[in-house]
Structure 1
């Protein structure tokens, strides 16, 4: 009975979320938050995870989380790349670069330093901080898309948050890889750095080539009337999956390659076509998160949290408040943002799918200390709840302050 119950609960919930999708964006509620709560409920009822009908061991859990998060990230960063015209993205290169080069490493340092209070060794704290450093494109999309965001937030602010969340999921890989190398002394750090150079540089080249090639192919197919309307709408999703697969075969950063492919494709595609494809990508992205966050809810390590004690709650609260907000506020000048914009951008740096991906990736690479995974998953759950419930109210507050 386990699998039919999961299908029924998640299916009915997804239909309800779709039918009230506009109203949902006005409430302190998001699809990931609803799915997370459903996953917790299913697990506690013994239907999903643990000792339930769909119980899994640790290896099965990690495989499920790693591959589903990888696919969801690919779809999310493709949607982020298509959300705004390339001219808008070019206009925010400086603030996005600052967020990637300064704010993201600072977030890793702050998160890692806070986790030292739990007794983690310095190297493991660095791994945890690196995993929590990127801004999640899935949770960020609930902040920058929809009627409330479009009416309340200026396009420049939404563009900055979109471009950052799309780019930093792939660019967090060097931080994670260096931290993992420090945590596993048997590794040759020089060799790891050479691999990282290929993973990042190769991803940029491969992604650009894939995006430009598919854009050229779409124009040729349209000119010869070989491309039907239906396949045209899902072409960018197919591009995302293809780029992800080729990048993994080439041993480059697949998520970064997909984002670059989306940028390159959008630069060579007219606005009307890109807008229709982005709408389809966004819709699929919004409801693909339901099964994923239900899986996350079922995989939450309650017993590990109990062993860590109440200190872990204080650590996660510190991560939410200090990981990003103070650094962004202090960076108003290079970001070119007034206080209000900097406060909004500093608060909305959610941890979600990308953090789960890197936490499981670190385990796959050999970092098996359960405390790293436990603290990271608590931060993801807390971010999903806190950022999900504050997105719409703070966007409306931003609009009221602007009107005033």
Structure 2
């Protein structure tokens, strides 16, 4: 355990020294932390071995995802983006379920040993995106705000939207294998979706109203408001877990309602939870590389690699192209949005839930997920700065020739974005 803590600490310190310098290179933070984990793994140097407490690692991963779900949902919110900027609605309402459907179909073909619900589960686990693995995609000021906004909202909300699919498909897969009794899926639906969602919404509304009331009277400082938001996310998770529900769904629902009720009054308090989430993701990626990716590489098959590659390309790109049909965005924009759909923490934690579920084929599912996330860390990390610059140059040249290009339309203002963006280049006209 001591050596694992030391590796994480040294990696964080080393990255802190060069973080700003690396922003201009293809080397992303996710790539650095994952590589550090691989080098420290039992298969390489042995600094982080499987003897590290399994429950401790799971706790770090799950707590990090809880905070990420809460802060992403709070930042993205529902607000008026669906009418002012319908691209996120297309990506989430059409592209996301279609991604699961295409992934389900191809998984059924490539993995005949998995039953129908296990292949559906695999597809749902790999459907959500994580833009923390490719921040240049949404932070590059040359990329039009409309597109950065669409990717940002999609990444902020689709991990929460994936939760019901993952939860139900896992329950149905356990029923199919007779691991649990009949009616388990119905029970999961009631507890994990309805009851947990209700707990999260009630806690989010009550907490946001209370904090807003306190802030208006000057009774609480920004620091303690931030800590209260972290406490709300954790409490939502724990309360849902007490009824054997889904703490993740509760945390996401709490963040969503908190954003709707107290967004303006609590906007300044979001920074600390976001910083904590970023730290948690960095630590999680080191553990991912050492304890999850390294073993997956040792047991990898060409079929697993092939499905992972399809998940990052065909399974993502076709649904995005379909969802953006009729939106009047240009083909380069469709290609840009379609390629940059990195997989990250949500998929890792969902796979970890499968690893302890008792499914007969859980090892195969976990291996495919870890390989896919590992490939995403490398491919999306290396191409994000280059892709953002190239797409930005195309946009500037096209907007100068054709005033009124769809990509030049105004997106909702930056305070509706899940991650504070870099201010866009002033419109040049088209």
TM-score range, shorter chain: 0.7 to 0.9
Partner of residue 166 from structure 2, selected from 165, 173, 176? 176
Q: Report the alpha carbon displacement of residue 131 of structure 1 after superposing the two structures with TM.
A: 1.6
RMSD: 3.0
Structure 1 residue 342, shift from structure 2 partner: 2.5
* Partners of 1:251 and 1:12 in 2: CA distance: 38
Matched, 1:383 2:381: no
> Hey, what does 1:117 align to over in structure 2?
110
Indicate conservation of the 8 Å contact 1:169/1:256, yes or no.
Answer: no
The CA deviation at 1:75 is: 1.6
Tell me what 1:156 maps to. Answer: 146
Contact 1:153–1:398 under 8 Å retained in 2: yes
**Structure 1 unaligned blocks of 5 or more:** none
User: Higher mean Cα deviation, 303-312 or 393-402?
Assistant: 303-312
Aligned to 1:40: 38
Q: Which residue of the other structure, out of 5, 28, 41, is the alignment partner of 2:26?
A: 28
Sort the Cα spacing of 1:302 and 1:220 in 2 relative to 1 into closer, same or farther, 3 A: closer
Question: Structure 1, residues 186-218: CA drift from partner, whole Å, max 9, x if none?
Answer: 256655145325533334433332222222212
Counterpart mapping for 1:21-100 below 5 A: 21-43=19-41, 44-50=44-50, 55-56=51-52, 61=54, 63-83=55-75, 87=79, 89-91=81-83, 94-100=86-92
Among 217, 220, 234, which residue is 2:213 paired with? 220
1:81-136 deviation per Cα after TM superposition (whole angstroms, max 9, x unaligned): 34357645444685444434433333234334444435533333333222212223
User: For residue 417 of structure 2, what is the aligned residue in structure 1?
Assistant: none
Q: 1:167 maps to what in 2?
A: 157
* Structure 2 unpaired stretches of 5+: 398-430
Contact 2:82 2:89 in 1 (8 A): no
Residues 277-331 of structure 1 show CA distances to partners (whole Å, capped at 9, x for unaligned) of: 2332332222222221111111236566455533432332222111111211122
Name the TM-score, length of structure 2 as normaliser: 0.79
Residue of structure 2 in register with 1:17 after alignment = 15
Structure with greater helix percent: 1
Distance verdict in 2 for CA 1:125–1:365, change over 3 Å: same
TM superposition score normalised by structure 1: 0.84
Cα distance in 2, alignment partners of residues 297 and 208 from structure 1: 35
Query: Take 2:182 and 2:81, find their aligned partners in 1: how far apart are those partners?
Result: 34
- Quick one: structure 1 residues 342 and 277, their matched pair in 2 at CA, closer, same or farther if it must change by over 3 Å? farther
Q: Which residue of 368, 372, 387 maps to 2:365?
A: 372
What is the total number of aligned residue pairs between the two structures? 389
